[in-house]
């Protein structure tokens, strides 16, 4: 029997390293095969997409648990819901844009109103399928799914978190939508990962972060405020401490955000500049990965409370997506610092390779670094 204890799902350091070398479809298949060893109720319903999902092990162990619905996504939701209502643990993977927009009525009725505990898995979410054109890019799926009452919306930041999230949903079935986007081999959890229901974790803090924004005096020739205190110079320069910048990011784009923050801090601290330049150039950046978009954890309000500027980053439209959800929560709490939302603009994107699409949307590492430096 599948372990349904209160113990959280865990991914070891060795597994995390192994999963980093897979694409998300392979990760999904690995998890299903692992779960099938103990879960005789595990079921995977697909819409003509099963061959790409690394399901050989799962189908060997659960031949009757594999349901092929053909290219009929609306029917997929109906079949998956019927099985879930009978007690099966059902995962329904499909292209993210098709499983959310083409099937909205079925999701509303079955997962929203009837609360059928189906886990929808959006394959190639965001712009991963950019080469096939706008019809296959899922940049509205978060906005669509987070309006469904009772539907959890999850956007893991790397493959280890994706695996642990899928395992947790098998142990605790509920209506959910899981977004899968290629992580390009990045491992943000080299020490392993233990599933955290809050979905919030600090990934980076600027090494030269200092106190609250304000001014201090630096003696001429001193490289830092601390060194200035020890200097006996009579000439001082008043400079402004950096603003507190809190970056909230979700999904596979997170690795780019972390790299951009590391570059922003590293570029500054490695340059030998005059006293006033060194002080003015310090950064106060924190980066948090957020995998739970619905519901957003209440801790985000506290995290943002003392920030001067909040930057949200997502591989999704800025209309109705993760950034909008953050704004809604902060507004409701009365915490309203400046919020900058980065993501896809209000237009359909032409076919191109994935990294070119991200660059055009201002989501390259270089562009993200520029935004961080401009707001410090």
What pLDDT score does 281 carry? 52
2 part of a folded domain: no
Structure pTM?
A: 0.88
Number of neighbours of residue 1 by Cβ within 10 angstroms:
7
Task: Specify the 3-state DSSP secondary structure of 219.
Answer: strand
Residues 6+ apart with CB under 8 A from 292: 152, 153, 154, 197, 198, 199, 200
- Would 68 be classed as within a structural domain? yes
Number of domains in the chain: 2
Q: How many CB atoms neighbour CB 315 within 10 A?
A: 32
If asked whether residues 363 and 347 sit together in one domain, one would say yes
pLDDT at 175: 98
- Tokens in use for 234? 């009579």
Task: Check whether residue 208 and residue 148 sit in a common domain.
Answer: no
pLDDT the model gives residue 348: 85
Both 204 and 164 in one domain: the answer is no
Q: Does 5 fall in a domain?
A: no
Q: Are 243 and 188 members of one domain? A: no
Claim to verify: residue 221 and residue 295 sit in the same structural domain: yes
Domain boundary among 194, 215, 239: 194
- Can you read off the two tokens belonging to residue 165? 């999230």
Are 268 and 318 in the same domain? yes
Domain span at 286: 200-375
What's the pLDDT at 336? 79
- Report the pLDDT value the prediction gives residue 230, as an integer from 0 to 100: 52
pLDDT (0 to 100) of residue 217: 42
The answer to whether residues 238 and 161 belong to one domain is: no
Kindly state whether residues 240 and 331 are assigned to the same domain: yes
Q: Name the stretches of the chain with pLDDT < 50.
A: 209-223, 225, 228, 232-234, 236, 268-280
Q: Which of 171, 194, 217 finishes a domain?
A: 194
Res 270: pLDDT: 42
Phi then psi dihedrals of residue 170, to 5 deg = -70, -35
Does one domain contain both 185 and 204? no
109-150 pLDDT per residue, tens: 999 999 999 999 999 999 998 888 888 999 999 999 999 999
């Amino acid at each position: 029997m599948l372990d349904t204890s209160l113990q959280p799902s865990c991914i070891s350091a060795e597994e995390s390293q192994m999963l980093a070398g897979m694409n998300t479809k392979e990760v999904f298949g690995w998890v299903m095969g692992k779960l099938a060893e103990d879960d005789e109720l595990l079921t995977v319903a697909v819409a003509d997409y099963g061959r790409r999902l690394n399901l050989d092990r799962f189908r060997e162990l659960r031949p009757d648990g594999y349901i092929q619905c053909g290219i009929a996504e609306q029917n997929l939701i109906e079949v998956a819901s019927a099985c879930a209502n009978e007690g099966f643990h059902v995962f329904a993977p499909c292209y993210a844009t098709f499983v959310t927009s083409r099937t909205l009525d079925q999701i509303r009725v079955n997962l929203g109103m009837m609360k059928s505990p189906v886990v929808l898995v959006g394959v190639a979410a965001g712009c991963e399928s950019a080469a096939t054109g706008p019809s296959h890019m899922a940049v509205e799926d978060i906005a669509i799914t987070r309006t469904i009452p009772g539907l959890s919306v999850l956007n893991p930041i790397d493959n280890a978190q994706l695996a642990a999230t899928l395992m947790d949903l098998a142990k605790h079935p509920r209506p959910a939508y899981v977004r899968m986007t290629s992580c390009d081999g990045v491992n943000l959890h080299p020490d392993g990962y233990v599933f955290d229901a809050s979905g919030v974790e600090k990934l980076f803090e600027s090494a030269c972060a200092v106190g609250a924004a304000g001014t201090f005096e630096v003696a001429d020739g001193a490289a830092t405020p601390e060194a200035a205190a020890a200097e006996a110079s009579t000439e001082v320069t008043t400079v402004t401490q950096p603003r507190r910048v809190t970056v909230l990011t979700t999904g596979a784009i997170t690795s780019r955000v972390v790299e951009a923050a590391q570059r922003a801090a590293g570029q500054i601290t490695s340059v030998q500049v005059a006293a006033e330049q060194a002080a003015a150039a310090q950064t106060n950046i924190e980066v948090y990965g957020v995998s739970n978009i619905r519901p957003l954890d209440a801790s985000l309000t506290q995290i943002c409370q003392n920030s001067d500027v909040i930057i949200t980053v997502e591989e999704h439209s800025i209309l109705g997506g993760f950034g909008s959800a953050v704004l809604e929560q902060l507004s409701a709490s009365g915490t309203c610092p400046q919020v900058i939302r980065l993501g896809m603009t209000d237009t359909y994107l032409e076919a191109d390779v994935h990294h070119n699409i991200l660059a055009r949307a201002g989501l390259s590492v270089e562009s993200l670094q520029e935004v961080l430096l401009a707001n410090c």
